[in-house]
């Protein structure tokens, strides 16, 4: 039986005023399976193409915090202590910073959210995953 899930795409917007972005991750939440996870990737070449002066290492550190928060890793700070639902809502809340998220989308998965996050990562990050 299919289960519903919510997801958002993580974007890096190097120059917010220009509104150009690169997909850099996906966040998936499935209440039924008690599943919350994120997958991120840093495509340095594409980021530098949008803004050559971008501090890629700073962006990398912030992106790498997202899967830690999703997993409830205590190294991610106090946010990681929240419930899965609260962490998901914190992760997908609108921001006007360099790292932003898309609106939340809903879907149905037949084979569990673990497979869904891989499918979404391939769909939205495939170009970057191939380089890694």
- Which residue did the predictor score with more confidence, 101 or 95? 101
**Which are the contacts of 109, defined by CB distance < 8 A and separation ≥ 6?**
2, 3, 5, 30, 115, 116
- pTM (predicted TM-score): 0.93
Report the pLDDT averaged over residues 26-52: 95
3-state secondary structure of 25: strand
| pLDDT single digits (tens) 1-15 | 889 999 999 999 998
First-to-last C-alpha distance (Å) of the chain: 34
C-beta separation of 33 from 3 below 8 A: yes
Q: So where are the chain's domains?
A: 3-131
Three-state SS annotation for 60-119: HHHHHHHHHHHHCCHHHCHHHHCCHHHHHHHHCCCCCCCEEECCCEEEEECCCHHHHHHH
| pLDDT single digits (tens) 22-36 | 999 999 999 999 999
């Amino acid at each position: 039986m299919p289960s519903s899930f919510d997801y958002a795409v993580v974007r890096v917007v190097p120059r917010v005023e220009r509104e150009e972005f690169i997909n850099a991750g996906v966040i998936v939440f499935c209440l039924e399976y008690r599943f919350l996870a994120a997958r991120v990737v840093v495509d340095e070449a594409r980021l530098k193409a949008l803004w050559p002066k971008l501090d890629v290492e700073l962006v990398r550190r912030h992106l790498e915090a997202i899967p830690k928060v999703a997993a409830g890793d205590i190294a991610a700070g106090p946010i990681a202590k929240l419930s899965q639902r609260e962490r998901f809502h914190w992760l997908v809340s609108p921001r006007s910073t360099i790292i932003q998220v898309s609106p939340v989308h809903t879907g149905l998965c037949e084979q569990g959210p673990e497979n869904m996050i891989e499918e979404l990562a391939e769909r939205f990050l495939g170009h970057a995953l191939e380089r890694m």
